Amino acid sequence: MRQNKQSNIFLVGLMGAGKSTVGRALAARLGKTFLDQDAEIEKEQNRAIADIFACKGEVFFRDVEEAYLATFAERKNCVLATGGGVVLRENNRQRMRASGIVIYLDVPINVLVARLSKSFAHRPLLYDGSDIQGRIELLYSARSKLYKEAAHMVDTGRDHETLDETVTRIIENLNQLNEKYEHRK
């Protein structure tokens, strides 16, 4: 791969888009360290994201998320699965673009609904389980423009594609992105 081996890769997208799953496999294939932003925040705060939202509120969580992202951006050679709302703050979008390659995992709403219907209790923005599809549609509508603004590359999932096929396609797209960048020099 032509990209700077020390470059970070940030995966953005809605909850359930597969950022953690794809991120682990992508990091392994590229020889990079994988980190999951929400998992790291849970470790640091010693509580689940849903508990942080319930006890301290979303603004507190977004402050912690921004601080973690700033620390992560200083690292090298990592893949970070970000939280779904990391793009809500312009500072975060700018920091990610300046610190590495941002990939937006854009997954169809029906796929997100199917994935999240099983795990909504751990998702603070879906916590009560009512009208999951409606809530996901609202989040998608509110955030998709921000994901695209932050991203260097948009990866739209394919039906019935294996994880290995997805990672291979992302790596091929990263190579094409790097070739375009090299031609601009």
Across-strand partners of 156? Answer: 106
Token pair belonging to 68: 């973690």
Length of the chain measured in residues: 185
pLDDT in tens, the chain (185 residues): 334 556 899 999 988 888 999 999 999 999 999 999 999 999 999 998 888 988 999 899 999 999 999 999 999 999 999 999 999 999 999 999 999 999 999 988 888 777 777 665 555 555 555 677 888 888 899 999 999 999 999 888 766 789 999 999 999 999 888 776 555 54
Residue 120's contacts (CB-CB under 8 Å, 6 or more residues apart) are 126, 127, 129, 132
Return the pLDDT at 155: 84
Tell me the domains of the chain and their CATH numbers.
8-179 (3.40.50.300)
